[in-house]
Amino acid sequence: MLIRDNRLDIPSSEITPQSLYLNRRALMAGSAGLIAAGLLSRVAGAAALTTVPSDITTTGEELTPKDDVTSYNNFYEFGTDKSDPAENAGSLTTSPWTVKIDGLVDKPGDYTIEDIMGAQPIEDRVYRMRCVEAWSMVIPWNGFPLASLLNRVGVQPSAKYVAFETLVRPSEMPDQDSSFPALAYPYVEGLRLDEAMNRLTLLAVGLYGETLPNQNGAPLRLVTPWKYGFKGIKSIVRISLTDKQPPTTWNIMAANEYGFYANVNPKVDHPRWSQATERRIGNGFSDRRETLMFNGYGDFVADLYAGMDLAQNY
């Protein structure tokens, strides 16, 4: 169940390191002016993030253990087994890092990760995450709304979609250097503009109060908790505003299995398995539960799809 108020129902002390939580008031008091000026240093690779509470969270659910969140991943650039990203992503260099923002924006350019992160507070948000493979997690993310970045660069009236692109660096990403890569690279994804501007849509730079690990998409990844996990593009190097629906990697690979929208819908099965239930990672194989429409975030997003056939627009 979701709430809309100004409290975190899961205490911040359970989301961020305890020492950081206990000193949050002092940190915020001392750095408030720097945050406002965009000068607070949050360099990729630092151990901890200075965060603030968010008014968006899930309630009454146990967090997935950090060890599971950081060791059970899909990031095909580093291998197709769930353990491959944690084993292989240590080679990824995440600093310096630049994100190209272009297309139908007023201020196109190449933005450093420090420019992007230094312009707004980093929020604590706890989201359910549902994978198309019928497993799920509850993750305490740290990030900021995608809308805040788009507003900074100025979205032009003709823009209808936001396209994203992942890093291509075969020297550090083994599958990109393979003779038989699992995917066509670069990995690309996209959202409708109203989805991108929704208050749930997050650009994550950390989890559990610490800088985002490489295997989870460092230094910048997308989080859309009402959609299946493959929409959460990792290690973003380009964000483009366009008037045309952009291509997306899994839709290119298998259009009959992976649609553009990828909204969590227990009534629409994957051609090879049911989506009616899911296995919660960290609680053993016996912890299966019913899948929620929009992953339980209908109060925030259902109006985006009013009148649409969600079986056809899967």
Closest to 236 (Cα-Cα) out of 195, 208, 205: 205
User: What per-residue confidence (pLDDT) applies to 14?
Assistant: 37
Q: Tell me if the domain spanning 12-305 has CATH number 1.10.540.10.
A: no
Higher pLDDT, 261 or 7: 261
- Percent with pLDDT over 90 in the chain: 79
List Cβ<8 Å contacts ≥24 apart for 270-274. Answer: 270/132, 270/134, 273/133, 273/134, 274/134
Contacts of 71 (CB under 8 A, 6+ apart): 82, 83, 86, 215
User: What per-residue confidence (pLDDT) applies to 58?
Assistant: 64
Least trusted range by pLDDT, from 201-205, 283-287, 291-295: 283-287
| Residue 251 identity | N
pLDDT surpassing 90 at residue 222: yes
User: What per-residue confidence (pLDDT) applies to 23?
Assistant: 37
pLDDT band for 59, please (50, 70, 90 cuts).
low
pTM for the full model? Answer: 0.85
| Residue 62 identity | E
pLDDT surpassing 50 at residue 30: no
pLDDT surpassing 50 at residue 31: no
User: What per-residue confidence (pLDDT) applies to 60?
Assistant: 67
Mean pLDDT confidence for 265-270: 95
Tell me the C-alpha to C-alpha distance, in Å, between residue 4 and each of 8, 59, 292.
10, 11, 19
pLDDT surpassing 60 at residue 11: no
Neighbours of 33 (CB within 10 A): 10
Neighbours of 106 (CB within 10 A): 10
Partners of residue 112 on adjacent β-strands? 98
Mean pLDDT confidence for 230-240: 98
pLDDT in tens, 39-53: 233 334 446 899 999
Residue 59 contacts residue 8 (beta carbons within 8 Å): no
pLDDT surpassing 70 at residue 311: yes
Mean pLDDT confidence for 194-222: 98
Higher pLDDT, 19 or 224: 224
Partners of residue 203 on adjacent β-strands? 144, 222
pLDDT band for 135, please (50, 70, 90 cuts).
very high
Residue 16 contacts residue 208 (beta carbons within 8 Å): yes
**What is the chain's mean pLDDT, rounded?**
87
Closest to 57 (Cα-Cα) out of 268, 296, 261, 282: 296
Mean pLDDT confidence for 270-284: 93
Distance between CA atoms of residues 267 and 284, nearest Å: 25
Distance between CA atoms of residues 259 and 243, nearest Å: 19
pLDDT surpassing 80 at residue 1: no
pLDDT surpassing 50 at residue 97: yes
pLDDT surpassing 70 at residue 278: yes
- The full set of domain ranges for the chain reads 12-305
User: Number of C-alpha atoms within 13 angstroms, CB side, residue 129?
Assistant: 27
Closest to 187 (Cα-Cα) out of 127, 230, 147: 230
pLDDT surpassing 50 at residue 178: yes
User: What per-residue confidence (pLDDT) applies to 66?
Assistant: 97
User: What per-residue confidence (pLDDT) applies to 283?
Assistant: 83
User: What per-residue confidence (pLDDT) applies to 214?
Assistant: 98
User: What per-residue confidence (pLDDT) applies to 9?
Assistant: 36
Higher pLDDT, 12 or 67: 67
pLDDT band for 19, please (50, 70, 90 cuts).
very low
Partners of residue 290 on adjacent β-strands? 277
| Residue 71 identity | S
